[in-house]
Structure 1
Amino acid sequence: MNQISSISLSRSPASKKQAASVEFRNVTKRYGNVTAVDSVSFTIEPGELVTLLGPSGCGKTTTLRMIAGLEMASEGRILIGERDVTHLSAADRDVSMVFQSYALFPHMSVLENVAYGPAVQGIPKKDAYEMAMQKLELIGLKGLEKRAPSELSGGQQQRVAVARALVLEPQVLLFDEPLSNLDAKLRRRVREDIRELQQSLNLTVAYVTHDQEEALAVSDRIIVMSNARIAQTGTPRELYEEPADLFVADFIGDANIIHGEIVDTSGEVANVRIGGTTNIQLPRRGVGEGAVKLAVRPDAIALDDAAAAAGKITGTVRKASYLGTQMEYEVESPIGELFVVQYDRQDPIAPGTPVSISFATQRGIAIIPRA
C-alpha cells in the first residue's frame, strides 16, 4: 500500500450531523500575572476551516485548548453551536482534538486505537469496532486495522489520529500542529487530505499552525495572532495582499518592507513614488498623502541586468540561489536590501552584477495602513 493513499469520499454518518459554530466573546486567559490570551473575539462558522496562525507564544494553542475545554477561560464566553460551554469540562463538549504527537496507544492495534473513544463511552465492543472501521475506510486505511502504530508510516499514523477524532462524530474538530512530525513532501500531501476530508464531510475545524504556507493552503479564513491578541482576520488572499500592519505583512509569506511616498490620491487610488524615481498606482487603503511603508512580495520585483534605464532604481545582486523552479536573489539597493524571486528567467544573474529594479505587478504590493 502506498504511504499516502487517496481519501475515500463516501458519505458517512459524520456527514449527516449538523456542523456547529464556535464563538469567542472577549475571552481572556491568564496564568498568574501572565496574560496568554487577551480579550479575543471571533466566530468560526459551521462547516468552516479556520486556522489560528502566529509565532510561538502568541496564544494560538491556548486558544485551541480553550475551545477543547482543556483550559478554562479567565474571562469572557465560549459558545459551541450557540451553547455556552465556557465552564464545561472537555468531556462535556462535543469536540475532538488531533494532537501534534498523535498520542496513539502503542500496545493497541489501529482498530483498537480508533474504537477506544466509543468503548470508553460504554458503546458495545462490536458497535465500537464497526464505527472505527467506517472511519478507517473513510480515510483510506482499510486493511491496516490489525497493525500496531509502530508498523505505520508517519502519514498513516496521522490518519489514525484523525480517524480516532472523527469516530465520535464531534461538532467541532481541532488540530494542534498536526503535520509538524512529517517531512516536507508528506506534509503537503496530508494537508491536502485533511482539507478534502473537511470539505467533503462539512466539518467545522479549528487548526493551529506556525507554518504560513500550511495556513494559506488549507484555510477558509486565518486568524493571525500576536502577543496574545488578534492582529488580523481574513481569507488567505486578503492577508497576503492586504496586510493590516507591519507584523502581518512580514509574517504572512515573505515581504520586503520599503519606504515610499504618496504624492497624490484620486478616489481610492494612490500615486506612490518609490526611491524618488518610480511611480506606481496602488489602492490607498484609507491612507493620505505623505510618507508610507509598502509590503512588496518577492515576485513583484523585476530585475534587468541590461544598462539601467532612466527613471529606474538601480542595485547590485549580492547573492543568487537556484531552486529548480525559481531563482532567488538578494539585492542591495538605495531602497534597502531586497529579496527577489524570479520564475521565468533562463540565465541566472551572477552575484556582483548591477541591475535595474522595477515592479512587475501591483497585486504583490500593498500600502501598509499607518498605526
Structure 2
Amino acid sequence: MRYGAVTAVDDVSFTIEAGKLVTLLGPSGCGKTTTLRMIAGLEIASEGQILIGGKDVTKLSAADRDVSMVFQSYALFPHMSVLENAAYGPTVKGLGKEQAKQMALEKLALVGLKGFENRYPSELSGGQQQRVAVARALVLEPQVLLFDEPLSNLDAKLRRRVREEIRELQQDLNLTVAYVTHDQEEALAVSDRIIVMSNARIAQEGAPRDLYEQPANAFVADFIGDANLIDVTVKAVADGRADVGIGSATVSLPARGLGTGPAKVAIRPEALLLGAVGQAGALPGTIRKCAYLGNHLDIMVETEVGELFVVQYGVRDLLEQGAPVAVSFAKSGVTLIPPL
C-alpha cells in the first residue's frame, strides 16, 4: 500500500486458515491497521492480491467483499436501539424487516445481550457496546470478521473479560478472524497465530508460545513481553548447542543456526534467578531497586553485563537496595538471537 512516496505496507504476505484467529501485532505506524483496511476493502492495494475463500477480491469495494469489521470506536448509531443497530446490515442489504429483526435477535442472544434489544448505546457499558458491535458484524455471517483495536476503549479488567468473550465466540462459531492490536498480552491471549509487524513489514509470525520463547530478533524479543537484551559471545557450537559467554558466566543454549562470534541473548525477567553470593556459574550483582507488585517483585540488579530486570513470583519480602546477589539462568527463557 503506497501513499505517494510512502510505502505503508511493504511486501506483506500471509494466510489465515478458516476458523482461526490471527493477530496483526505491532507498534503504532507499523502498517497493521492499513493491512486490515486493505482486507476490508476500505483501502485498495497498490500492488499484490487479496483472496477471500479462494476468490480474488483485490479490486472489489468493501460492500462486495464477504467481510465485516468491528471498529475501535464501535461506530454504533446513537439514535438507534440495540436491535436496530444489530439489524442494520440485513436492512441495508434489502432483507425484509421481520427477517432482519430475527437475524439480529439471534446474534444478540449469542453475544449475551438478550433483553437489551430496546436500549440505546448511551445506556450500555463499554463492554456491552462492544458486544453490540460484534453482533452487528456477525449478523450477515461474513466469511471473515475483522477487529481493529477492539478493546482499547475499555478499562483493564473489562478488557480481560471482553477478550475472553471474543475468543470463546470465535472458537464456538468457528469464525475466521483477523485481529489488530498493539497490546502484546491481548495478542498472546486471543490468537492462534500472531504476525508481528515492524516498519511496514512482517518481523516474525508464529504461535504465541513460539514468538515468546523463540523470538527471531531483538525487536520481537523486546516487543513481545519484557526481555533483557545483552551482547554476548558464542564461544563454541556443536550438535546444535552453543556455549555462550554472558559476562563471566557460560551457558549452553540452542544455537538456532548461529556460529561462533558476537550475538545477543534475550532473557525473560522470570528466567533470571537470584541466589546467594559465590554461587558457581552465576553473575555477581547488586540490588538497585525492588518493588512489591502484589503477586510478584520487580527487581533491578546491577551486574557486569549491565542492569538486569528480574521478576520473582511468590516472594513477599523486599530485597534491600545495595544487597549483593548471584544471578543465574533458568533452563528456559534464555534465547540466542542474531547480533543485529
Deviation at 1:267, TM superposition (A): 1.1
**Cα distance, 1:33 vs. partner?**
1.0
Offset of 1:205 from its aligned partner? 0.2
> What's the secondary structure of 1:134's corresponding residue?
helix
Find the aligned partners of 2:288 and 2:219 in 1 and give their Cα distance: 26
Instruction: Tell me, in whole angstroms, the C-alpha distance in 2 between the residues paired with 1:242 and 1:168.
Output: 39
Q: TM-score, normalised by structure 1?
A: 0.90
Match of 1:231 among 203, 206, 211: 203
Deviation, 1:167, is 0.2
CA contact (8 A) 2:26 2:198 kept: yes
1:42 counterpart = 2:28: no
The 3-state SS of whatever aligns with 1:70 is: coil
What does residue 18 of structure 1 align with?
none
- 1:38 aligned counterpart, secondary structure: coil
- Kindly indicate whether the alpha-carbon contact (under 8 Å) linking 1:285 and 1:369 is maintained by their aligned counterparts in 2: no
* Regions of 4+ moved over 2 Å: 306-312
Identify which range, 327-336 or 173-182, moves more after superposition: 327-336
- Cα distance between partner residues in 2 of 1:317 and 1:103: 49
CA deviations over 1:312-352 (Å, ceiling 9, x no partner): 21111111111111000111111111111000323221222
* Partner of residue 368, structure 1: 337
Q: What is the deviation of 1:126? A: 0.7
The aligned runs of 1:9-20 (5 Å cut-off) are none
Specify the code of the residue in structure 2 equivalent to 1:62: T
Q: Determine the structure 1 residue equivalent to 2:183.
A: 211
Equivalent position of 2:268 in the other structure: 297
1:176 aligns with 2:148: yes
Q: Quick check: 1:347 aligned with 2:320? A: no
- 1:183-262 correspondence runs (5 A): 183-262=155-234
Partner of 2:301: 331
For 1:201 and 1:154, how far apart are their aligned partners in 2? 23
Computed over aligned residues only, the root mean square deviation of the Cα atoms, in angstroms, reads: 1.1
Cα distance in structure 1, aligned partners of 2:63 and 2:169: 25
TM superposition shift of 1:57? 0.4
Match of 1:127 among 90, 99, 122: 99
Distance in 2 (CA, whole Å) between partners of 1:174 and 1:156 is 18
Residue identity (%): 71
Q: Deviations over 1:289-319 (max 9, x none)?
A: 1221000000000112x33335421111111
Aligned residues of 1:281 and 1:362 also touching (Cα < 8 A): no
Question: Which residue is equivalent to 2:253?
Answer: 282
1:72 to 2:50 alignment: no
Task: Specify which of 314, 317, 321 is matched with residue 291 of structure 2.
Answer: 321
Aligned-residue offset at 1:260 = 2.1
Distance 2:277 2:241 in 1: 32
SS at match of 1:286: coil
Question: Aligned residues, how many?
Answer: 340
Q: Is the 8 A contact 1:315 1:333 kept in 2?
A: yes
Matched residues in 1 for 2:208 and 2:11: separation? 24
* Equivalent residue, structure 1, for 2:125: 153
What is the rounded CA distance, in whole Å, between the counterparts of 1:344 and 1:272 in structure 2?
30
**Are the aligned partners of 1:53 and 1:225 in contact in 2 as well (CA < 8 Å)?**
yes
Partners of 1:72 and 1:125 lie apart in 2 by 33
Shift of 1:370: 4.5
Task: Choose which of 96, 102, 109 in structure 1 pairs with 2:81.
Answer: 109
Q: Report SS of the residue matched to 2:49.
A: strand
Show structure 1 runs of 5+ residues with no match.
1-28
Deviates more, 1:256-265 or 1:282-291: 256-265
| Pairwise CA distance, 1:279 | 2.0
Q: In structure 2, what is the equivalent of residue 22 of structure 1?
A: none
Letter in 1 for 2:333: G
Q: Tell whether the 8 Å contact from 2:233 to 2:261 is kept in structure 1 after alignment.
A: yes
Q: Deviations over 1:36-75 (max 9, x none)?
A: 0011111111111000000000000000000000000000
TM-score calculated relative to the size of structure 2: 0.98
1:87 aligned residue: 59
